[in-house]
Amino acid sequence: MQIEVKRTPTILRPDQSRILLRPFNPGDSQRAARIIARIMTIPEEQLASLLEEICAEFCRRHQNVHKLFLERFEQVRETFFTDEQPSEQRRQLIGSYFLAEYSLESAGLFNPSIVPHPDQTGLPCGALRFIISLRAVGEGHISSITFRTGILHADHRIEMQTPHGFLSEPRQIPSFKYQKPLFSRKIFELGLSNKFAKRVMKRVGESFSLKELRDALDKEVNETESVGGMLETDKTAAHGIWMLARSNYKVQFQPEQQISERIIFPATRSQQNGIEDARFVRFDNGDGTYTYYATYTAFDGAVVMPELVETSDFLLFRFITLNGRAAQNKGMALFPRKINGRYAMLSRQDNENLYLMFSDNVHFWNECTPLLQPTFPWELVQLGNCGSPIETDEGWLVISHGVGPMRKYCLGAFLLDRDDPSKVIGRLCKPLLMPNESEREGYVPNVVYTCGVLLDRGQLIIPYGMADRAAGFATVALDEVLAAMHSDNC
């Protein structure tokens, strides 16, 4: 059976003018000190004109630059080797030398996921407001998460809202509290649970802050050093505990910021080279409320790690490590509700096949069973999911991706039993979407890829990345996809 997939004229292209002001580190502390020393030689009467020149060039590109200059000065003042207290103007000038513009989308804007917007007010009859997350790639191939909003009209016409405003990162919440039982379990899962780690955890309460953990670590390190010295396993535990804590945190955007102004940039050591391919899903909590979860790949330049972020309003985000022997590799995608009282997740444990996982805790994943393996010529290199399963009357529909000859990426689909998703009850034997001639060229040629699809009144809305450079949209009738799974034209 032939499936009619319709491409829409809407294309989201990278915009190099979307810039973020970020810390600039010109080298080690000695070089930073030399730069500061040179700035200190500028006569006081020249500072105002220098700051005016900088402001004339950059104030229309960023909000509150003078405030940002002062904040950056405070971050670098530890390299300031003098008792002299600089004037406010000099502090601003020093801060400006340690900031730089970063073009988030200079290399590409792709691999979108789509979810219903938390706010559905003020819409035309039959319309749905949505949020799209995208992987923005800039200088150094560093990936961050950016957002767009749009409206899906009653006739399934897609109307994207033009992004505007000043881009900014969220503020980390210093009062974030860690829960001792959960944190201790994560220490155990990471193989860090030795005597040193247990003594550290005895020093903190049932809930504790990052500062309280830092104090506990420092005290335990000092006492251990005083009674014989730190073992290598103790040093490993201390480092691992601190990295674990820094990888679990909350951030807050300001309500007046448009969603397209909110940027989630790598903030931890595990993310330092990128936050890749976020798969957002609106999760039904079963009590009339929803939580938006996203699994993503954290990349530190050498190792990829699956991690989780959650939000209810796209203002407050909580970042959480995923633990357990099954929390590995890329492409984890959470089901949009519990199944038989347990969380369920799709994953790819071995770079080739798809697996199904269950857990009682969304942060810990130990069970995994094989679900699907590459079968058809267009997917023989690798098979993976393209976002969270979609619940339909006939079962859980999963959009998949397959890699075939010449490393060509195509989209496919399969169907899982609603009550027992370990049962595959349908599968497309031919690709649902392949790169056409206008989509082949880009940063990574011959690739179409999505991180999440929306079902609306019988139509699948598929935002997809094109050759890792831009993102387009396709629509297809759900009935056609399901009917093709039951045909015998393979």
- Which pLDDT tens digit goes with each residue over 417-461? 999 999 999 999 999 999 999 999 999 999 999 999 999 999 999
Residues β-bridged to residue 275: 298
253 is a domain residue? no
Nearest alpha-carbon partner for 448 in 353, 376, 378, 375: 378
pLDDT at 112: 98
Nearest alpha-carbon partner for 335 in 289, 380, 295: 295
150 is a domain residue? yes
Q: What percent of the chain has pLDDT over 70?
A: 98
Q: What percent of the chain has pLDDT over 90?
A: 79
Residues 316 and 213 in one domain: no
Residues 51 and 185 in one domain: no
- pTM, entire model: 0.92
* Rounded-to-integer distance, Cα 450 and Cα 429, Å: 19
Spatial contact of 42 and 72, defined as CB atoms under 8 Å apart: no
pLDDT at 145: 97
* Rounded-to-integer distance, Cα 141 and Cα 438, Å: 24
Q: What does the block give as tokens for 211?
A: 């500062």
335 is a domain residue? yes
* Rounded-to-integer distance, Cα 117 and Cα 280, Å: 12
pLDDT at 330: 81
Residues 36 and 117 in one domain: no
1 is a domain residue? no
Structurally, the chain folds into a number of domains equal to: 3
58 is a domain residue? yes
SS3 224: helix
Residues 96 and 236 in one domain: no
Residues 467 and 421 in one domain: yes
Residues 143 and 127 in one domain: yes
Q: How many CB atoms lie within 10 A of CB 236?
A: 16
Q: What does the block give as tokens for 339?
A: 């199944």
Q: What does the block give as tokens for 304?
A: 């990829």
Residues 28 and 88 in one domain: yes
Residues 23 and 10 in one domain: no
Low-confidence residues in the chain, pLDDT < 70: 1, 80-83, 303, 487-490
Residues 293 and 440 in one domain: yes
Residues 288 and 430 in one domain: yes
173 is a domain residue? no
Query: 41 is in which domain, residue-wise?
Result: 19-103
Angle at 26 between CA 25 and CA 29, to 5 degrees: 80
123 is a domain residue? yes
Spatial contact of 136 and 50, defined as CB atoms under 8 Å apart: no
* Rounded-to-integer distance, Cα 274 and Cα 300, Å: 7
pLDDT at 247: 84
pLDDT at 328: 82
- CA–centroid distance for 98 within its chain: 26
- Examine the fold and report which residue of 103, 136, 156 is the final residue of a domain before the chain moves on: 103
SS3 217: helix
User: How much of the chain is helix, strand and coil, in % rounded to 5?
Assistant: 25, 35, 40
pLDDT at 487: 63
Q: How many CB atoms lie within 10 A of CB 437?
A: 6
Spatial contact of 110 and 471, defined as CB atoms under 8 Å apart: yes
Residues 459 and 423 in one domain: yes
- Examine the fold and report which residue of 103, 120, 146 is the final residue of a domain before the chain moves on: 103
| DSSP state for residue 242 in the 8-state scheme | H
Nearest alpha-carbon partner for 214 in 185, 236, 245: 245
* Rounded-to-integer distance, Cα 354 and Cα 192, Å: 29
pLDDT at 317: 97
Residues 324 and 275 in one domain: yes
Spatial contact of 462 and 480, defined as CB atoms under 8 Å apart: no
* Rounded-to-integer distance, Cα 490 and Cα 487, Å: 8
Sign of the torsion formed by the C-alpha atoms of 405, 408, 411 and 416: positive
Q: How many CB atoms lie within 10 A of CB 347?
A: 26
Q: What does the block give as tokens for 407?
A: 């490393």
197 is a domain residue? yes
Burial of 2 (0-12, 13-18, 19+ CB in 10 A): exposed
pLDDT at 81: 63
Write out pLDDT tens, residues 41-51.
999 999 999 99
pLDDT at 321: 85
Nearest alpha-carbon partner for 321 in 332, 312, 336, 337: 332
- Examine the fold and report which residue of 88, 103, 118 is the final residue of a domain before the chain moves on: 103
* Rounded-to-integer distance, Cα 307 and Cα 297, Å: 6
- CA–centroid distance for 333 within its chain: 13
